[in-house]
A and B are shown apart, each in its own frame.
Chain A
């Protein structure tokens, strides 16, 4: 079975500073990786995903993540954060399908609350 560990439950940061939200996964088979963001009182929204190809993935709102197979990590980064980035961020994993697509269950981490201070 696959699992996801988000290493920080809360990350406070000042506006315009860089940020890294850490995610490690565990799986005995190939996986696909995702980052979702949840703004207050809203559902989750996909930020970015890694399915195959380049290990550096760019997403919406200036976020990017790097898939590191040897370290089983998929850390999320942004070079300069804004107040509006304050939200909870979830890393998720899905088992890779032989046909190269992702199906079924997404396993989510416990979430990291990013708080951007002025």
Chain B
């Protein structure tokens, strides 16, 4: 158990809908990262938050947004969902802003039908 909690584990929704994925980092970790894993694109970095502030941005679509709250949990919001958004979304955390050791959650499997 990495100590990173992601909810829900599975999410099935329809095209055009909006969903929110939630991540609780390991106790004491200040950074949260979001990654998308799909068969065709592999593991893609979306975004990093450090202590509530956006720290680094990757291949995140404009339809997607994220935030990190004062209690350090993070939410990834996906809107106007398309079939191609179906993927496994991972959250990871690290103690500080560096990415030298990430602890990954078990992921949220999103299926857009």
Contact = CB atoms under 8 A, between A and B. Distances in A.
A110 interface: yes
B104 A106 contact: no
Contacts of A109: 42
Given A49-B100, A49-B101, A106 B45 contact: yes
A13 interface: no
Contact of A43 (B48, B56, B99, B107): B107
A70 interface: no
Contacts of B42: 108-111
Nearest to B39: A110
Interface in A22-54: 32, 36, 41-46, 49, 51
A105 B58 contact: yes
Contact of A51 (B43, B56, B58, B100): B100
B94 to A, nearest CB: 10
B18 interface: no
Interface string A103-118: 1111111110000000
A45 B97 contact: no
Contact of B90 (A44, A94, A105, A107): A44
Nearest to B55: A104
Contacts of A108: 42-43
Contacts of A90: 43
Contacts of B92: 43-44
Interface string B1-44: 01010000000000000000000000000000000000000110
Interface of B: 2, 4, 42-43, 45, 48, 55-56, 58, 90, 92, 97-107
Given A36-B104, A43-B90, 14 more contacts: A32-B100, A42-B106, A43-B92, A44-B102, A49-B100, A102-B99, A102-B100, A103-B98, A105-B45, A105-B48, A106-B45, A109-B42, A111-B42, A111-B43
